[in-house]
Amino acid sequence: GAVVSQHPSRVICKSGTSVKIECRSLDFQATTMFWYRQFPKQSLMLMATSNEGSKATYEQGVEKDKFLINHASLTLSTLTVTSAHPEDSSFYICSATEGGSYNSPLHFGNGTRLTVT
Amino acid sequence: SQQGEEDPQALSIQEGENATMNCSYKTSINNLQWYRQNSGRGLVHLILIRSNEREKHSGRLRVTLDTSKKSSSLLITASRAADTASYFCKIQGAQKLVFGQGTRLTINP
């Protein structure tokens, strides 16, 4: 089955530093990837849609200068949390579809637990 | 709202019992998908049911869809401890990808 690898699984950083999270589709091409944020015992909040070769589409209320997304290839999208602060501490998850169709099942990475101290 | 809403928010049952959770939505859909999330992990796709289907099975899972009532149910039969997780439905009608709050299922041994 389609596999999405997300790295790192956990990261602890100091306030003011930047953190990069990678999301790779291992055995399929993903023209579109999605980035979510999840707070404890809550649902996933879609942050942005990452499109290969073009600018990401951010959801309302998500700062694009804060959460930089790069989708430089058909198998890799990165999310960089810039100048991280404790309130950015959260669980970040990426997902992708094989054909880029919104009607296809989503394949998720295992998430990244970010803790900003 | 384009998101599905799961019900109940939390469900606790004994191992071996059946678990039923529901999803309601408001818009027209192309399909509806159910996902499972184990604590601290990503989501895993369980089953997809199209708008022209009424019931679908996969192992111990049974999903029904009633488009007239705009609702779906997920039944897990003969539950196991490993089924403990959160379950989310995702409706697919437009390009917006939104998940509901989920149902937190706990299987007690």
| Cβ-based contacts of A106 with chain B (< 8 Å) | 33, 35, 43, 45, 90, 97
Report the residue of chain A nearest B5, measured CA to CA. A43
Q: Distance (Å, rounded) from C-alpha B100 to C-alpha B95?
A: 16
- Strands annotated E in B1-109: 5-7, 10-14, 19-24, 31-37, 43-50, 55-58, 61-66, 71-76, 85-92, 103-108
Task: Reduce the DSSP state of residue A50 to 3 states and report it.
Answer: strand
Report the residue of chain B nearest A33, measured CA to CA. B97
User: Does the beta-carbon distance from B43 to A4 stay under 8 Å?
Assistant: no
Token duo for residue A97: 């579809």
On the question of pLDDT at B33 being above 70, the answer is: yes
Q: Distance (Å, rounded) from C-alpha A22 to C-alpha A70?
A: 10
In b/e form, how buried is each residue of A69-78, taking b as 16+ CB within 10 angstroms? bebeebbbbb
Q: Distance (Å, rounded) from C-alpha A3 to C-alpha A24?
A: 8
On the question of pLDDT at A22 being above 90, the answer is: yes
On the question of pLDDT at B1 being above 50, the answer is: no
Closest CA to A48 of A57, A40, A39: A57
pLDDT digits (tens, 9 = 90+) for B36-92: 999 989 999 999 999 999 999 999 999 999 999 999 999 999 999 999 999 999 887
Instruction: Work out the minimum CA distance from A18 to partner chain B, whole angstroms.
Output: 22
Cis ω for the linkage preceding A40 (within 30 of 0)? no
Report the residue of chain B nearest A111, measured CA to CA. B42
Q: What is the DSSP letter of B10?
A: E
Report residue B96's pLDDT band, with 50, 70 and 90 as the boundaries. Answer: low
What value does the mean pLDDT take over residues A69-82? 93
Say which range, A52-56, A90-94, A109-113, has the weakest mean pLDDT. Answer: A52-56
